[in-house]
Amino acid sequence: MFRIAHAAALTDEDRVPFTHGVALAHTSGAELFAVHANRADDAAERMLDAGTILVHWGDDAARVPFEKMVHQCCDDPVDTVLDALRKLKADLVVAATHQRHGIMRALLGSKAEAIAHNVEVPTLLVPVGIDGFVANDSGTIDLHRVLIPIGDPEAAQAAVDAAATLGRMAGAKSVEFVLLHVGDPADTPEVNVPVVAGWTVSSINVTRVKLEDAVISRAADSCLVVMATRGHDSVGDVLLGSHTDRVLHRVTCPVLSVPVPRPAS
């Protein structure tokens, strides 16, 4: 069975990403786990409950298989959550993230981004302060437009595949996948998008602009941005963040970060 894991912080900022996890588990039949790294005795009690949200939506509290997991193994909370995710064999991770940049990013970093860089499955990152694509009062999922930046063929196909998987999980009846390429049109990679009734594909090519600027300018009317990433594979990425990081710091919708293996050296 497909497994969704919510990386819980035990703050009010958990609610929106957790709601996304509940909604996706509800429509797909997946198992949902809430994972937290904490030694406090009351940690599990402070974690959100899927059943409460389902009842609020007028559904059965037991409709989604749900389990809370308070994990202990390491001094670092990120390492502890990563260990829990490996043990769970999660297929999708969901987490809230602060859109820190500049000196604040250098000083405080982002636990959610650190998790996304170190898992081998997609991570749905929901910036704090946005509503995302799930209606809080009903659990309705709206993925009518999904923006997918495409670069090299391997990364482009990985992003498209992950977007299609999420669309199926959501039971999306009408989706426009917008494929965005930055650079010479002749270098646009060919990708295979599943043929599904109600799903359409459009393509945009732009030049003489930074990738993150092109994404941000077109993300305002999108429900989700899906970006393939190879993590931090250069000094510039470590200092400034990867393209995915830089988009995440400015975007106004959730970002699905899709890991792609680095080429063998």
Q: What does the domain layout of the chain look like in residue ranges?
A: 3-127, 145-259
The yes-or-no verdict on residue 239 having pLDDT over 60 is: no
Nearest to 3 by CA among 73, 83, 69, 65: 65
DSSP codes, 38-94: ---TTHHHHS--HHHHHHHTTS-TTSS-EEEEEE---SSHHHHHHHHHHHHT-SEEE
What 3-state DSSP class applies to 216?
A: helix
* pTM exceeding the 0.75 threshold for the entire prediction: yes
CATH superfamily assigned to domain 3-127? HUPs (3.40.50.620)
Architecture of domain 145-259: 3-Layer(aba) Sandwich (3.40)
Two tokens at 8?
A: 């819980």
CA-CA-CA-CA dihedral for 241, 154, 132, 144, to nearest 10: 150
Taking only the tens place, the pLDDT of each residue in 188-217 is 999 999 999 999 999 999 999 999 999 999
How far apart are alpha carbons 55 and 66 in whole angstroms? 14
pLDDT at 109: 45
